[in-house]
Structure 1
Amino acid sequence: MGIKGLTKLLADNAPKSMKENKFESYFGRKIAVDASMSIYQFLIVVGRSGTEMLTNEAGEVTSHLQGMFSRTIRLLEAGMKPVYVFDGKPPDMKKQELAKRLSKRAEATEGLSEAIEADNKEDIEKFSKRTVKVTKQHNDDCKRLLRLMGVPVVEAPSEAEAQCAALCKAGKVYAVASEDMDSLTFGAPKFLRHLMDPSSKKIPVMEFDVAKILEELNLTMDQFIDLCILSGCDYCDNIRGIGGLTALKLIRQHGSIENILENLNKERYQIPDDWPYQEARRLFKEPIVSTDDDELNLKWSAPDEEGLVTFLVNENGFNSDRVTKAIEKIKAAKNKSSQGRLESFFKPTANTSVPIKRKETPVNDAKGTNKKTKASGGKKKK
């Protein structure tokens, strides 16, 4: 879910903290990517039609592999150095949010059954997407693929977005790429939305700068975290009737959630029973992340050509010629990236950012994922 309404709140109240950049402007940049978010989008869109999905000969879904393979090649060809971060064990405080998601999937499954019985194609399409869940197998498949491609993988001890933010704060990557805004609450210095969108959508990358956010909102980092909790986050319910703008006004007026609660009109605003905002605050300020330099020694290497052919072609039914051509693209991209980084020491970098022209960035609905990624040669699974 992320932080409710944070993009619009920042667009309206801290516009200088946001800038639009071209996808190509991140040439040579190391970017930490929230893997689960990407896999989820691939499962929803790539090769899907109603309840049908791409599969290999064994009937195992391959949409996530096809999407991850094509999207990562696009990043590499643009000269970027992605590192994918995978979720570990979710914190106990997220159990409530996960239970809500499970309930919604159960409702969607029931709705899908009714839609299939009524042969309502529109509802079949809608409900089938709502039943999607990223599994351990999906994650393991993508980890294996990325390592074969020579792209580093980080397995977070807990929340991937917290680990992404930690990598960014440590200077190991330039920015964090995701669609959920939690990374900013975890303190990521630079945050990118729409980097992982397909080129067909033609949406510019939106870059957020946390230091400028704090400056424009005139808040400390602690106050910004409280603002995000009040707006609504994954760890606890928010106070009904308090959205982002009201939360901002209250934080500016009172400085902290504790002071707000002391002065809040209890008749107008109902505070949830046993509201664990302090624990949520602690998770944002002191998340469980790995800081081991050996574990976080990010290395981009040449692709394992034989391993990729075995995994994608032999085991998952991808087209052999297309995989071979894709491997050549990876090799060429890595050579290009290395040359570009050396040249960057001698040439000034052009400023390709443009000022914000609108108040709200488009919401990424995951539609329109690259429809040309037909590399799998997979079958449709009903």
Structure 2
Amino acid sequence: MGIPGLINAIGSGERISLSKLAISHLRNNKRPIRIAVDISIWLFQVQAGRGGRNPELRTLFYRLLKFLALPIHPLFVYDGRQKPPFKRGKAVGGRSYGSAPIISLSKILIRLFKFPIHDAPGEAEAECARLQRAGVVDAVMSNDVDALMFGSSWTVMNFSKEPGSGTTAATHLDCYRIGGLGGPPNVPFDRAGMILFAMLSGGDYLPTGVPKCGSKLAGEIAKAGFGADLLEALESEELKLESNLADWRERLQYELDENESGYFQTKHKAVRIPEAFPDRTILSYYANPVVSTEEEAKALELRLQSAWDQEIDALEIRRFTAEYFEWNYRSGARKIIKLLADPLVSYRLRLQRPVLAFGAPLLSELDTPILQKIYRSRTSFSTDGQTELQVDMIPIDVVGIDLMSEEANPQTPLPESVESADEEDEQDQTTGPVTPSISKIRVTRRYDPCAPEKVWVFETIAAMGIPEVVEKWKREQAEKAGKAGKSATAKKAPARKSAPRKKGPIDSGMKSGSILKYGTLSKQKPEMSPAKQAQLLQAAASPASRNSYSSKKDNLKSPNSPFGSMMVQNLVSKEGFSDFRNQGLDDFVERFFEEFILAALTMVRWRQ
């Protein structure tokens, strides 16, 4: 579906997590982002679900849970009766996806989540783009680039899992902007250019396009502005229409043949624009689709003001899942409580409503206070670094489903504490959950909805529902950071000060980079008591030390060692050894290093 090659021509959009898109919009605009969802694409995708009863509905159920947990106002748009009768050369009749049962059941499920539904007069994609241009919604969600071609200035597509996020759930999407809404533009074509692109390279209504005109050339023609000229010609009076279209074709053909204006990388004389181009009927599907009028769009906008943010009846959702997913008995009720509790906490905090189920008693029979403390914070790759805070809640009190009113589970071969991997799978997968198999069965602790449980809530949402708790936590974190900073400052060792090195004299006869460039060496005299100095001098002057020193002197005086010979002759001479005995150890050390430098210089000259 869509326009082949258009995605490659416009480039990759901004990859962003749905969480960041929603939280950022809430923080900047003080309201949830309003998104028109082309449900036909969703229903086409979820049909790949497998395992159990109605797997496609179950996959849709998991996606609706994601929308419930985030600050999003979705509007699910369905195809209408006046949509084009064919796509890709095939008649679509009164439907373009799935079967009638999935359409009706999906509407029931969406309404149970209190999300509004809108039946378009024609194609859902065109209607979504119309509502976005009219300001009824902020953005359009679709997996088809046709939404861009129909004029949506802010479109999000390809809602899917992100490699490296550590989850198989859909978390990220591609964001495309033609206007300045939602961020800087990142689509190089205007609407007229994309319409012309579809007519030239082929699309849903004209699969073949113009012969020998591929997506690359179609993109160059669109960028050259021929799309806007074409739509301008079509708006001319009937008497001048054919003449203006003929002039447009002639100018385009001339540029293809000669490339006089430099629009293309090379000439394209093999490409011939047909005299019947463009097909008026096909062009009308793109340029003038059947959509809501201005009055109808305003009426819809007025209806939506009270359609969002209604209280959700968890019991109705529980009955639906029991009938269509076969989540029966108390185990099915526990599963619904587990899936609904976290999203409902975020949903009610954003609306600044009590988190506990409205009008229901405390089913847990616990007096444990909830949402009174923040335990820690986190950021994750799957949310593009949006800060989340961990609070506590009691799931059964949030959802309000009484387990004791449910029928007990019948006896099964498996013990009650054994559940399949699918029973613990809460992730939205395009392919849907798979049928449990013996190889996937694992023993787990049975979920207890009456026990307190930690839940992650976005900081922006928590600040709306429990502002005092969030402020208290921020003060505590600031105090901890201050104490940690003072402790680190106190433990920090003072920097050791050292005098700058002095460079010694440079010998012009030495090569660059020789030892002289490092300067002269000096040795600080050690602080040594007179008693210790006398002890060392007595040991050095003993006969054993003198004999050992003489043997080392003889070894260093080898003819093959000019360095050793010179150093020993200067340092361990009779006079030098006498200085050692008379002046003491300190003076001898200083004399030793002076002789060492002299000997090293001599060795360098000898090697050169």
TM range (shorter): 0.5 to 0.7
CA RMSD of aligned residues (A): 3.7
Contact 1:38 1:196 in 2 (8 A): no
- Between 1:300-309 and 1:167-176, the stretch displaced more is 300-309
Q: TM-score normalised to the size of structure 2?
A: 0.44
- Between 1:261-270 and 1:28-37, the stretch displaced more is 261-270
Measured in 2, the distance between the counterparts of 1:189 and 1:22 equals: 19
Size of the alignment, in residue pairs? 306
2:90 to 86, 89, 99: 99
Structure 2 residue 318 is matched with structure 1 residue 309:
yes
Structure 2 residue 7 is matched with structure 1 residue 3:
no
Note closer, same or farther for the CA distance 1:254–1:325 as it changes in structure 2 (3 Å cut): closer
Measured in 1, the distance between the counterparts of 2:339 and 2:89 equals: 37
Q: Which has the higher contact order (CA 8 A, sep 6+)?
A: 1
Match of 1:363 in 2: none
Contact 1:313 1:323 in 2 (8 A): no
2:14 to 11, 19, 25: 19
Match of 2:279 in 1: 277
Match of 1:224 in 2: 194
The CA deviation at 1:323 is 2.2
Match of 2:568 in 1: none
Note closer, same or farther for the CA distance 1:75–1:328 as it changes in structure 2 (3 Å cut): same
Measured in 1, the distance between the counterparts of 2:187 and 2:97 equals: 36
1:322-356 deviations in Å (ceiling 9; x for gaps): 2233343443232234359xxxxxxxxxxx989xx
The CA deviation at 1:274 is 6.2
1:220-250 deviations in Å (ceiling 9; x for gaps): 5323321233232212231132122201223
**Helix, strand or coil: the match of 1:31?**
strand
**Helix, strand or coil: the match of 1:195?**
strand
1:241 to 199, 212, 215: 212
The CA deviation at 1:148 is 0.9
Pairing of 1:144-163 with structure 2 (within 5 A): 144-163=108-127
Contact 1:193 1:206 in 2 (8 A): yes
Letter in 2 for 1:41: Q
Contact 2:77 2:124 in 1 (8 A): yes
The CA deviation at 1:288 is 1.5
Instruction: Determine what percentage of the aligned residue pairs are the same residue.
Output: 22
Match of 2:27 in 1: none
**Helix, strand or coil: the match of 2:90?**
helix
Contact 1:197 1:369 in 2 (8 A): no
The CA deviation at 1:71 is 0.8
The CA deviation at 1:369 is 5.5
Match of 1:325 in 2: 338
Measured in 1, the distance between the counterparts of 2:147 and 2:216 equals: 20
Q: Which runs of 5+ in 1 are unaligned?
A: 48-52, 56-61, 103-131, 341-351, 355-367, 378-382
Pairing of 1:1-382 with structure 2 (within 5 A): 1-11=1-11, 18-27=13-22, 28-44=32-48, 46-47=49-50, 53-55=51-53, 62-89=54-81, 91-92=83-84, 94-97=85-88, 99=90, 133-195=97-159, 197=161, 200=168, 204-211=172-179, 220-237=190-207, 238-253=209-224, 255-256=226-227, 258=245, 261-262=249-250, 263-264=252-253, 268-269=270-271, 277-291=279-293, 292=296, 293-296=298-301, 297-298=303-304, 299-300=307-308, 301-318=310-327, 319-338=332-351, 370=429
Letter in 2 for 1:39: L
Note closer, same or farther for the CA distance 1:23–1:270 as it changes in structure 2 (3 Å cut): same
Q: Which runs of 5+ in 2 are unaligned?
A: 23-31, 231-244, 258-267, 354-382, 386-426, 437-608
1:12-36 deviations in Å (ceiling 9; x for gaps): xxx7xx3222221122312111111
The CA deviation at 1:141 is 0.5
Measured in 2, the distance between the counterparts of 1:245 and 1:230 equals: 11
Letter in 2 for 1:149: F
**Helix, strand or coil: the match of 2:74?**
strand
